[in-house]
Structure 1
Amino acid sequence: MVQNNSDSESFESLLNESLMRQDNFSVGDEVTGKVVQLTGDSVFVDISGKSEAIIERGELADKDGNLTVKLGDTIKAFIVAMRGGEIRLTARIGKGSANLDLIEKAKEFNIPVEGTVTTVVKGGYRVSVSGIECFCPLSQMDVKGPASPETMLHRSFSFKVTQITEHGRNIVLSRRQLLEERQREREQELRATLKEGALVTGTVSSIQKFGVFLDLDGMDALIPRTELSWARNADPASFAPGQTLTVKVLSIDWEARKFVLSLRHATQEPWERIGEYSEGQQVTGKITNIIKSGAFFELEPGIEGFIPVSRMSLTRRVNRPEDAVAIGSTVTVNIIEINREAKRIS
């Protein structure tokens, strides 16, 4: 009997694929795989092994119970058990069901656990990992201590298990160690990719009088107050923690670990739109500053005009600008002159 060449090639291809698929995995390994099957309580993942890998459906569901992955999606997970030809995965211990054995594996194999801060206690926090009570010292909750411990309440984070004693009655966690590990990893990535002049996206991590700190996925960088807006008096308090911003990198100092960003230079310079205004046009805006000879008037953030004291009223003589306008007041004026080269409007 003559064997069909295509069948022979197909068999050889399948054999080679089978030989390449190995189960040289160990508990604690981080693996990447493709979602290949969904059932009522499990998600099956192909991690290029001969055995099936399974993760609890609940771990991949949102707070409303809706599955956050679909067939063909790629996910990362940790191996927590291998038995009977089956590999058990977890995206993060504590996101699904958990027990002391899993917590001990998390410590042994350096697997993150998911916990919710429930109570502020002396020296730290009580943290629930799927109902298992743990403790996180105050110094281990963040790289920088929170301004107020209560701000962490009822929030969920990833933690590292650092200590288990008294047969599981005393479990100590650290979020800080995980954050510092990620910072080191992220720094190596940023050293290769972060360049002055580049546009990057991050989330607001802290608000200070002198500016706003942006978290670049583990690395904090400062947006000085003067770089928050084209407006004369940008207010850092107008931003909120967790807010996402796209900014321009102004300077990088790896030795001092200082990074300066600009939000205003990530947007169009307002004077590039000056063509939208014309001499004789009536506009409404806000008084931003007052000096002896007149007042500054903001048409829009980054575009200001000057109102001479002699032109503050058509019906009466004004000797002092304060007699006609006040900082922060809204007024309507006519544009007399636009000097594009000097960037001046009167």
Structure 2
Amino acid sequence: MAEELNQVEVKSFEVGDKVIGQVRKVEEKQVLVDIQGSKLDGIIPISELSSLHIEKASDAVSEGEELQLEVIKVEEEALILSKRKIDAEKAWESLEQKFENGEILEADVKDVVKGGLVVDLGVRGFVPASLVESYFVEDFSDYKGRTLTFKIVELDKEKNRLILSHRAVVEAEKEMQKRNRLEELKPGQIIEGTVQRITDFGAFVDIGGIDGLVHISQLSHEHVNKPTDVVHEGQKVQVKVLSVDRDNERISLSIKETLPGPWSNISEKAPKGSVLKGIVKRLVSYGAFVEVFPGVEGLVHISQIAHKHIGTPHEVLKEGQEVNVKVLDVNEAEQRLSLSIKELLDKEIEENHDYELPEEAKGFQLGEVIGDKLKNLGK
């Protein structure tokens, strides 16, 4: 009688029917369930428990758990059921909606396989290696078990194909961070950055998700032959924002303007009456400009070049020549330095070629100091 009742009940089920089952026993390769409203046994093979490969049934379900299931086969005394099909059906419906809306998903990495990562979103999702990060990753082994965010880049329910990208999420976040940073930046701000890349014309500095250019002319108050003489990749630097072009995402920065200028504390470095060595940088009709510190030039007026009258500074000086100078006056506020060569020379030297230059004037060649006339003495 019981057997006949079972056969009648079995005939009331068809492949594709949806049933509710409660897990009665979890075996290694299958799960036995009690089917709600039926005396029949329900069997879920391990292959029908999950869209992903699992080693044992207990990895997917536990005793007492209530499951939504689909009939995939009707046997004489039992129904063969699938949990995977129900999960997949629900998942595809949800995933299609999220794909259309461009939503970001969160899921655990279930496995690392050749060519990428596998995640479980109710259906098997695959993340190609090139779509994991925005940079090259050599070994993905430590990604297993990690929770990552993803965007769906390809979805095909018929082919059971779901391609995901974590890289797309990362790049979108970086772009948002960049736009926000651009809006925050204003000329005149002084901020910390990290040197990312060095070129012949300057250095690119990361200032929080976006790079700005420090042109070679803005690296230092001193002349810079090549940027690597001043900065190196990975170096933390203070920069001043010179300009922000939001449309073209271009930011001009300066390291130089965050540094003490060459004229800072010049009154202490070159007090009135002090003697300094310098290089003649420029000769003009009214005197000579002498660089006494990098970026600091003072004027030796033509009247302070020699005791004797000279028509032009070119008569006794030349550009690039090293000279000794005495500070006559210093004005740090106006960045002006008045210098004298004459005050380091004894007037008698210009009248008697037998005298030697004093020690503090050794930077001069005698003929260059007092002109051609002295060269001809004694001829």
Q: Into which bin does the TM-score normalised by the smaller protein fall?
A: 0.3 to 0.5
TM-score calculated relative to the size of structure 2? 0.41
TM-score calculated relative to the size of structure 1? 0.44
